[in-house]
Amino acid sequence: MKVAIIGCTHAGTAAITNILNMYPEAEIDVFEKNDNVSFLSCGIALYVGGVVKDPDGLFYASVKGFEEQGIRMHMQHVVTDCDTNNKTLVAKNLKTDETRTYQYDKLIITSGSWPVTPPIPGSDLENVQLCKNFHHANEIIERSQTAQNIVVVGAGYIGIELVEAFEQAGKQVTLIDSESRILNRYLDEEFTSPIEKTLTEKGVTLALGQTVSSFQGKDGKVTQVITGEASYDADLVIMCIGFRPNTTLFTGQVDMLDTGAIIVDEYMQTSKKDVFAAGDCCAVAYNPTEKPTYIPLATNAVRMGTLAAYNLVGPRLAHQGTQGTSGLKIHQHNLAATGLTETAAAAAGIRAESALLEDTYRPEFMPENTMLRLKVVYEMDSHRIIGAQVISEGDFTQAMNTLSVAIQNKMTIEQMALTDFFFQPHYNKPWNYLNQVCIQAMKQIEEKQIGQQKAVS
């Protein structure tokens, strides 16, 4: 069995590892445009900020290691054409410009994503940087050494983490985003406001609700970022607007969402026989909405890559869907989220309510304690939990993993309210905070029903 894999970051690496174990007779050809594999891009900000000293720790597999296991690693190769009907692909060696045609029996597309790059005038100026791969990270580190005014465009996870890293390095940092709040896709306002307050107190300029219209420069280097409202000095600009699936090669050959994300079934099979896909190039089954959604996360990628290998010769193991669970640490704030925010639920046309808990996590008699803020979002009609968020100076982020399981299993707030959790004063209260927030939701429902009954009578 000849297996071709296009792309070798998280999904590709997971697919390779499992194919080696499950199908030792398989002939595997891997095509990767970079000169490395398995780069953990979520560690870029830690690397830029000097927390990670050894960049080798940002990789968990190697080209050499795969080659020693008999895999044909075509590094710095770009696949320029793929015929999924005749099961052939053409790859170009970027070092020699040589092209060659390869045949396969099974194809796994793990071509990943690429940063969104709007056609902003001045984008070609020196020191306007993307942030995606290891080479980008090294460029950012090198160029930031001599930069004092740094502008980050995009207030998602990567953008926020870079802002923190540059601020801690003593730079003058400006964060620009067209939305009115940071992290608006992941968190509701009760959770973004404390972070915005901290960033402002640390001297970061928040230029929210502003869209970049152009970059201005001198002698070929960027000097200013222009928005519709103001201009900002810049020696270095990092573009972190978001990501798009890297799937142009397969347009018209496999079914896709309007975003270009490849649609797969629960076995990672595309609409074309013997063609599988996994990772950031794909849509993923999103349990809160029960619809395929584009959610580029490493956690989704490794699971999908694993499943592509498991189901390569026949359907064996189905994907259980995702909740898009994620976490972040910014200064003293530990935060995490799973599923839909209230804002996202409304945008998805879901009638939802929420309960918000602000409380200490230990009994009041404990000499040391910490406050936490926890929200659960639930469907009004079914009471099904569809999202949750937490923030605290203590670390309660693992609670989102628990609620991720709850969403995956379609648990209601009533079920979670009465779920068994241990009690020990060092760790929690007799009613765990997960119980408490759902009990609060139940009370809100009761109060609403009583109010409706009184209105009718």
The answer to whether 42 is a known catalytic residue is yes
The residue among 243, 251, 211, 228 whose CA lies nearest residue 84 is 251
Distances (CA, A) of 65 to 57, 76, 332: 15, 17, 39
Q: How far apart are CA 439 and CA 445, in angstroms?
A: 10
DSSP per-residue codes, 253-286:
TS-B-TTSPBP--TTSB-SSTTEEE-GGGB-EEE
Q: Which of 8, 10, 82, 319 is catalytic?
A: 10
Evaluate whether 69 touches 60 at the Cβ level (below 8 Å): no
Q: Which tokens in the block code for residue 403?
A: 């609620």
Evaluate whether 175 touches 207 at the Cβ level (below 8 Å): yes
Using only the alpha carbons of the chain, give its radius of gyration.
24
Q: Which tokens in the block code for residue 391?
A: 């923030």
Evaluate whether 91 touches 74 at the Cβ level (below 8 Å): yes
Evaluate whether 280 touches 13 at the Cβ level (below 8 Å): no
- Catalytic site residues? 10, 42
